[in-house]
C-alpha cells in the first residue's frame, strides 16, 4: 500500500499499549517506521533536536502520563519554532471518553481517538493526509 506516512511517533508510558499500537501500524503498512517514547519529555527533546530520520508525519499522544502529560506536551510543542514542528499531525489517543478531553483536543487543533489504535483510525488519518 502506498502511503504518505513514512514515520509515526507513539508517545505513551504504557509499554503494552505501545506494543499493540505498533503492531496495528505495521499491520496497516509494514513500511511505516514506528518510534516509541515512554515519556513526553523525551519525545519533545527528540523533536527539538530535529533528528531527520526521526521526524514523524504523525504523532499518537497519550493524555495521562507521569511527569509531562499529553496536554503539557502540546503546550510546549506549540511553543516550538514552526520549522521544528514541520507539518506533524497529532492525534490524542486515550482511554478517556471524557467530552471535555475531546473538546480540549479540538480547541487545540488536534484529533482525538479512543484507544486502542485501529486500522480504521489509520485509514481515516491517511485519507485526511492525502495530497
pTM of the model as a whole: 0.92
> Is 104 exposed, middle or buried (CB count within 10 Å of its CB: 0-12, 13-18, 19+)?
middle
Using DSSP, state whether 128 is helix, strand or coil.
Answer: helix
Using DSSP, state whether 34 is helix, strand or coil.
Answer: strand
pLDDT tens profile 22-40: 999 999 999 999 999 999 9
Quick one: cell of 93?
489517543
1 pLDDT band, cuts 50/70/90, is very low
Query: Angle of helix 119-129 relative to helix 15-28, nearest 10 degrees?
Result: 60
85 pLDDT band, cuts 50/70/90, is confident
| Phi and psi, residue 2, nearest 5° | -80, 135
Full strand arrangement of the beta sheet holding 7-11: 33-37, 7-11, 58-61, 89-94, 111-114
Domain ranges of the chain: 7-121
| Architecture of the structural domain at 7-121 | 3-Layer(aba) Sandwich (3.40)
Amino acid at each position: 500500500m502506498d502511503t504518505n506516512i513514512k514515520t509515526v511517533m507513539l508517545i505513551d508510558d504504557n509499554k503494552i499499549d505501545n506494543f499493540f499500537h505498533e503492531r496495528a501500524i505495521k499491520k496497516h503498512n509494514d513500511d511505516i517506521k514506528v518510534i516509541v517514547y515512554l515519556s513526553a519529555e523525551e519525545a519533545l527533546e527528540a523533536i527539538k533536536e530535529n533528528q531527520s530520520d526521526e521526524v514523524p508525519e504523525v504523532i499518537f499522544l497519550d493524555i495521562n502520563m507521569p511527569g509531562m502529560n499529553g496536554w503539557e506536551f502540546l503546550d510546549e510543542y506549540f511553543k516550538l519554532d514552526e520549522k521544528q514542528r514541520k507539518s506533524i499531525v497529532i492525534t490524542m489517543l486515550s482511554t478517556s471518553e471524557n467530552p471535555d478531553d475531546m473538546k480540549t483536543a479540538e480547541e487545540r487543533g488536534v484529533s482525538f481517538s479512543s484507544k486502542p489504535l485501529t486500522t480504521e483510525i489509520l485509514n481515516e488519518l491517511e485519507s485526511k493526509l492525502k495530497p
